[in-house]
Amino acid sequence: MEANMAHGQHWKDEHDIKSGFSNDHASIPINVRAFGQGSNPIAFEFDARKLDYPEFTKTGSLSGSIYREGDRFDLEAQISAEGEFECTRCAETFQERITAPLHLQFVPASLVRDIDDPNVIEYDPLSSQEVDILGDIRDALVLAIPMKHLCRPDCKGVCPVCGKNKNVEACDCIEKEDQSEAWSALNGLRERLRAEEVKQGDRN
Ligand SMILES: [Zn+2]
Ligand SMILES: [Zn+2]
């Protein structure tokens, strides 16, 4: 048992060394004690893999300001992360930087008025030097990914007839598709069904 665990640990270490990254204790901490009263600029970059969202593979950034009033902090920032996405129309992979606004308040527990406000993070000013905002950054960025996510606004998609990516290669499948042919196929089906009905009627 012990040997297995040791082996598991060894494999994990090796795995982390290979990928150069571990999400085990990932955090994006804000050191609140570093900010003076009033408005403070804030800007930093982070490894977007910390977000533990497979599409975000590169660098993320935050820039904005923190307003301090006593032990209350008001963070107003723009966040972004570069990711690798699959086009919902042509299924090709493409890179895109997702951006989102982030508005958070760090408030001592005794001063929190609305505990259900998702923008308010409770902290203990006596014991906490840092407030972790990784989860908030992840949520804001994931929500900002469009449902219909195209590699480019005019993506032509994949031809349903020949399967070619029409962004890369044009095909003349649409021209070939004859409307009258489609209708005659439908009429044929209708006739077959009618004949079937007649047969059934004969049997009864
Ligand atoms: Zn596309
Ligand atoms: Zn085609």
The per-residue pLDDT for range 132-157, each reduced to its tens digit, is: 999 999 999 999 999 999 999 999 99
pLDDT, tens digit (0-9, with 9 covering 90-100), for 78-118: 999 999 999 999 999 999 999 999 999 999 988 888 878 88
- The one-letter amino acid code at 149 reads H
In whole angstroms, what is the distance from residue 158 CA to residue 162 CA? 8
> Do the beta carbons of residue 65 and residue 41 sit within 8 Å?
yes
Distance 175 CA to ligand 1 centre (A): 22
Centre of ligand 1 from the C-alpha of residue 139, in Å: 25
How far, in Å, CA of 43 to CA of 77, rounded?
9
Region 111-127 average pLDDT: 86
Choice between 16 and 143, residue whose per-residue pLDDT is larger:
143
More confident residue, 36 or 110: 36
> Residue 18 corresponds to which tokens in the numbers above?
């290979």
Q: Would you place residue 12 in the very low, low, confident or very high pLDDT band (cuts 50, 70, 90)?
A: very low
Task: Give residue 157 CA to ligand 1 midpoint distance, Å.
Answer: 6
Q: How many CB atoms lie within 10 A of CB 164?
A: 14
| Closest ligand to Cα 167 | 1
pLDDT, residue 156, reads: 94
Whole-number Å distance, alpha carbon 91 to ligand 1 midpoint, is: 6
DSSP 152: S
CA 88 from centre of chain: 13
CA 129 to chain CA mean position, Å: 30
Ligand 2 centroid to residue 161 C-alpha, Å: 5
How much is the pLDDT for 9? 42
Whole-number pLDDT of residue 20: 61
Q: Categorize the per-residue pLDDT at 73 as very low, low, confident or very high, splitting at 50, 70 and 90.
A: very high
Distance 43 CA to ligand 2 centre (A): 48
For residue 162, the ligand closest to its alpha carbon is: 2
The pLDDT, as a whole number, for residue 185 is 64
Taking the CA of 90 as reference, the closest ligand is 1
Flag whether pLDDT at 65 surpasses 70.
yes
pTM: 0.71
Mean pLDDT, residues 119-129 taken together: 87
Distance, CA of 28 to CA of 137 (rounded, Å): 9
Ligand 1 centroid vs 165 CA: distance in angstroms?
Answer: 8
Asked if the model's pLDDT at residue 41 lies above 90, the reply is yes
**Taking all residues of the chain, what is their mean pLDDT, rounded to a whole number?**
84
